[in-house]
Structure 1
Amino acid sequence: MTRSDRTSSGASLDLDYEPSVPVMAHRVDVEAREREIPIHVHRSGQLVMALRGAVSCDVPGAMWMVPPQAGVWIPGGTPHSNHSTANAVIFYLFVAPNAAPLPASCCTLRISPMLGEMIQYLAGQPPSYEAGGPTDRLARVLLDQLCAMPTEEIFLPMPEDARLRKVSRAMMRDPSDRRTQKDWAGKLGMSERTLNRLCTALTGLSFGRWRRQLHMLVALRELSGGATVQQVAYDLGYESPSAFITMFKKAFGKPPATYINDRLLAAGEGRSLAEPAPALSPT
């Protein structure tokens, strides 16, 4: 397997690769089109890190987002699929079973600048290296650092119920779809109350809160991929950029430009994300 792929299809990434060393890294440069890797399983655990752009990872019951300066940890044996934005630069870190005491369930891990550089360096090394040699010693330190990274909860519960999955797929395809809860309940042949109760039972969120959280993860993906605040607000069906900024700040604690720029600066990226004039000063 090549150590660095430049592709728009995903065909060159060996999905069945299992490392013969404690940890190895692989870089993928996504070209002009978005890229999707279908559902697959590794025996090894996998960290998905976006140096540029964004990746969403679908696992049973949830969709996890990989914003800048973070990675999604997927334990070995977990079925998952990945969706990358156009022009993304993605690093996949494969960790052999029992190589490190990493979480037993999916989570988002903050990636420090030092750890990010170590992952990038490892991706440029041969996939096999001598035990006790320089690369092996670096890999051991990398795993120690990875285990020490704080976790974040940047995910959306995804219902397994066939009726609600129909709704979730439609909303993912078209986040600007403004059909109301009443509209969806009628389409599914149930009352609004039943729809809300079902959604709460399966996701822990009311239908309205689940939809808002979906919008925020889509927004995070698009902003990380280079879209402007105005573009994202329009694509999500908000009446104005200001309304979108208010909702984003409630979800993430900062206006979108501040949130994304802070993460890009922490990752060593110099790109600036412009917001409309009324929201340039964080409050």
Structure 2
Amino acid sequence: MSNLLDSLARFDPDDLYSPAVALTVDIRDNSRELPVHQHRKGQLVLAARGSVTCEVPSGLWIVPPHGAVWIPGGMAHTNRVSLNGRICLLFIEPDAAVLPASCCTLSVSPLLRELILRLVELPQSYSIDGPTGRLVAVLLDELVQMPAEQLHLPITAEPRLRRIADALMNDPADRSTMAEWARRVSIGERTLARLIVGETGMTFGRWRQQLHIVIALQRLSTGMTVQRVAQDLGYESVSAFITMFKKVLGKPPARYLVERGESLRLRRAASESTG
């Protein structure tokens, strides 16, 4: 096992011109975050175990259950993986497939997941006409069919808002009012309200709620109970947390996770029946 920083220091995906290359990393230490960097290749970050947080200039993305984060080529980013997590990184040449031009979360079908895991085991320099090249062609065909989502938290480089964001990510149970935050960052409450809407497109209450959603999905995907997540996020009761979750995502947490996995299976079956 290794830390992410050491593993990627030994592997530069841009040294290879294969249409897609893959790497898996087991994390024993998450104390060091990978410095902000970018690749020529686009990057798909898949959590095989644990959770992954990806930060780009415009937002914070947390890998959802049965999903991955897509980072287009040339976009500055950094990743942080939970302790003892395991991630798969898929790097794709810009002209190898038509993929989103902006950062997003993508659903990952069981087939796509297995194709990525298989590619990890193979030599990363290969002929596109050989067995690995044919596997990659199927992988890319499957990848471009995956639906994009927007499970992320808008963030900003504005220093006062970044202070608030960092504090809430470290302590999501903090229920300070906007007036209290305004005093902490030495700004008027109305000015802070306008700043948050201008930078994130959300009111403060909606923005904090979105932070709770992405953290909840991250923790639930690792097997944490709904009761523990509600407690960690500072909700007075489990039912209050479930009500918030259902209001935002349309379903209570347990049903959302089950149906999300089932919907991927059904989409794959429908694709095969019409193919």
TM > 0.5: yes
How large is the RMSD of aligned CA atoms in angstroms? 2.0
Q: Which residue does the alignment assign to 1:213?
A: 210
Q: Which residue does the alignment assign to 1:3?
A: none
Give the 3-state SS of the residue equivalent to 1:98 in structure 2.
Answer: coil
The Cα shift of 1:119 comes to: 0.9
Amino acid in the other structure paired with 1:52? R
Match of 1:118 among 115, 131, 150: 115
The Cα shift of 1:186 comes to: 1.5
Alpha-carbon distance in structure 2 between the residues aligned to 1:191 and 1:132: 63
Alpha-carbon distance in structure 2 between the residues aligned to 1:59 and 1:100: 22
The Cα shift of 1:93 comes to: 0.3
Q: Which residue does the alignment assign to 2:238?
A: 241
Q: Which residue does the alignment assign to 2:61?
A: 64
Q: Which residue does the alignment assign to 2:6?
A: 11
Amino acid in the other structure paired with 1:102? L
Q: Which residue does the alignment assign to 2:271?
A: none
Match of 2:164 among 167, 179, 184: 167
Match of 1:232 among 211, 229, 235: 229
Q: If each structure's strand is expressed as a fraction of its own residues, which one has the higher value? A: 1
Match of 2:256 among 253, 259, 265: 259
Alpha-carbon distance in structure 1 between the residues aligned to 2:131 and 2:83: 35
Q: Note the alpha carbon deviations across 1:77-119, whole angstroms, 9 max, x for none.
A: 1111112223332110000121111111111111111111111
Alpha-carbon distance in structure 2 between the residues aligned to 1:172 and 1:45: 27
Q: Which residue does the alignment assign to 1:82?
A: 79
Q: Which residue does the alignment assign to 2:174?
A: 177
User: Which runs of 5 or more structure 2 residues have no equivalent in the other structure?
Assistant: 266-275
- State which drifts further: 206-215 or 36-45: 36-45
For the structure 1 residues 94 and 29, does the alpha-carbon distance in structure 2 shift closer, same or farther, using more than 3 Å as the test? same
Percent of aligned pairs sharing the same letter: 51
Are the equivalent residues in 1 in contact too, given 2:107–2:264 (CA < 8 A)? Answer: no
Amino acid in the other structure paired with 2:37? H
The Cα shift of 1:9 comes to: 5.3
User: Which runs of 5 or more structure 1 residues have no equivalent in the other structure?
Assistant: 1-5, 269-283
Alpha-carbon distance in structure 1 between the residues aligned to 2:206 and 2:262: 30
Q: If each structure's helix is expressed as a fraction of its own residues, which one has the higher value? A: 2
Alignment of 1:17-166 (within 5 A): 17-18=13-14, 19-31=16-28, 36-166=33-163
TM-score using structure 2 length: 0.89
Alpha-carbon distance in structure 1 between the residues aligned to 2:246 and 2:32: 29
Give the 3-state SS of the residue equivalent to 1:148 in structure 2.
Answer: coil
TM-score using structure 1 length: 0.86
Alpha-carbon distance in structure 2 between the residues aligned to 1:80 and 1:91: 16
The Cα shift of 1:257 comes to: 2.1
For the structure 1 residues 77 and 120, does the alpha-carbon distance in structure 2 shift closer, same or farther, using more than 3 Å as the test? same
Alpha-carbon distance in structure 1 between the residues aligned to 2:142 and 2:4: 32
Alpha-carbon distance in structure 2 between the residues aligned to 1:267 and 1:28: 25
- State which drifts further: 254-263 or 201-210: 254-263
Q: Note the alpha carbon deviations across 1:157-201, whole angstroms, 9 max, x for none.
A: 102211111111111111111211110112222222211111001
Give the 3-state SS of the residue equivalent to 2:144 in structure 1.
Answer: helix
Are the equivalent residues in 1 in contact too, given 2:30–2:80 (CA < 8 A)? Answer: no
For the structure 1 residues 261 and 222, does the alpha-carbon distance in structure 2 shift closer, same or farther, using more than 3 Å as the test? same
Alpha-carbon distance in structure 2 between the residues aligned to 1:256 and 1:184: 29
Matched positions, count: 263
Q: Note the alpha carbon deviations across 1:186-239, whole angstroms, 9 max, x for none.
A: 222222221111100110001111111111111111111222212111111111
The Cα shift of 1:141 comes to: 1.7
Amino acid in the other structure paired with 1:83? R
Give the 3-state SS of the residue equivalent to 1:28 in structure 2.
Answer: strand
Amino acid in the other structure paired with 1:124? E
The Cα shift of 1:76 comes to: 0.8
